[in-house]
Amino acid sequence: MRAMVLQRFDTALVSEERPVPPPGPGQVRVKVSACGVCRTDLHVIEGTLAHPRLPIVPGHEIVGVIDAVGSGTTRTVGERVGIPWLGYTDGTCAFCRSGHENLCAAARFTGYQIDGGYAEYTLADERFCLTLPARLDDLHAAPLLCAGLIGYRCLRKAGDARRLGLYGFGAAAHLIAQVARHEEREIYAFVRHGDDKAAAFARSLGAVWAGPSDEPPPEPLDAAIIFAPLGELVPRALRSVRKGGRVVCGGIHMSPIPRFPYEWLWGEREIVSVANLTRADGAEFMQLAERIPLQVQVQRYALADAQRALEDLRAGRYTGAAVLVP
């Protein structure tokens, strides 16, 4: 099989021919039909995340069909599944037992410690595979598996905020803006200065306002979600939310947050982070995505063009989400 492999940090992916792996006990082998390209993949490749396994096949927004199963599995050959970032937990620690498996210290993650979907085949623990909305084809379902899931967890952390700010209008924001509009919230989209294309895209998806992230919104926000990995946005978002408002940091990595005066936080404002996801998040969001007619904006790339897709993501050359198709 063909796989795009990260051999060393901050180097280009290498195309390799590898044997098709046999599934072990409790595993399924999936013939990959689509794999989304996520900013977390960039963080893995750049070495900003600690303790990856090298060499590694990146990719954790995987859609495909099971073509082989290991012993003790309940999944069936021919079943379409999604493979997300969370690939394993111990199931016994205090976090797992309390419904917070996303914080399990023994967790392992797809495309980071477990070979992912930048390949023609991949293996997965069947317990962490998700059932996908039937209404979306493989290409358009792939971004749901991280952009959608992390965006959904962020939205729930934002509570019942009516006026919601989204900082960084990329793959996650373009999906969660539609969910928020379905819930009759007002969306305020913050984009890079001069990025008129992203602002227009946000307005086309129902944002009542879209403008540069260094400008205040026209109305105080009830909550803000930061998807861009820029620490400087935290104090800006704090200044945009009302008393009692909440700022949700949705990225796995963020540049340092600059110092800011306590008065910007005062008034019972909050800053919270979102880490990973749970299988419960996945089940809830996929059921929601079956009901809401999401417009999933995708840019398609061949598997061999994975490096170009990553560079285009870094440079912000497209709107929505990039997806690799073997």
Q: Fill in the amino acid letter for 244.
A: G
Q: Is the pTM above the cut of 0.85?
A: yes
The CA distance from 28 to 126, in Å, is 6
Q: What is the largest CA-CA distance in the chain?
A: 59
Helix axes 171-182, 147-157, angle to 10 degrees: 50
Q: Kindly give the confidence (pLDDT) of every residue in the chain, 326 residues in length, as a single tens digit, with 9 standing for 90 and above.
A: 999 999 999 899 999 999 999 999 999 999 999 999 999 999 999 999 988 899 999 999 999 999 999 999 999 999 999 999 999 999 999 999 999 999 999 999 999 999 999 999 999 999 999 999 999 999 999 999 999 999 999 999 999 999 999 999 999 999 999 999 999 999 999 999 889 999 999 999 999 999 999 999 999 999 999 999 999 999 999 999 999 999 999 999 999 999 999 999 999 999 999 999 999 999 999 999 999 999 999 999 999 999 999 999 999 899 999 999 99
Check if the beta carbon of residue 109 is closer than 8 Å to that of residue 85: yes
The CA-atom distances, in angstroms, between 35 and each of 59, 63, 142 are 6, 6, 6
The CA distance from 151 to 85, in Å, is 13
Full set of structural domains in the chain with CATH:
2-146+277-325 (3.90.180.10), 148-273 (3.40.50.720)
Helix axes 196-204, 171-182, angle to 10 degrees: 30
| Nearest residue to 324 via CA among 169, 179, 145, 198 | 145
Which pLDDT value is given to residue 152? Answer: 97
Which pLDDT value is given to residue 198? Answer: 93
Rounded to 5°, the CA angle 199-181-209 comes to: 30
- In the beta sheet, which residues pair with residue 324? 35, 301
Q: Fill in the amino acid letter for 15.
A: S
The CA distance from 85 to 166, in Å, is 22
Which pLDDT value is given to residue 51? Answer: 80
Which pLDDT value is given to residue 123? Answer: 98
In 98-208, at which residue ranges do the beta strands (DSSP E only) sit?
108-109, 121-125, 163-167, 186-191
**Token pair 């039909």 is at which residue?**
33
Which pLDDT value is given to residue 234? Answer: 98
The CA distance from 141 to 37, in Å, is 12
Alpha-carbon Rg of the chain, whole angstroms?
19
The CA distance from 317 to 114, in Å, is 29
* Sign of the dihedral through C-alpha 270, 97, 87, 64: negative
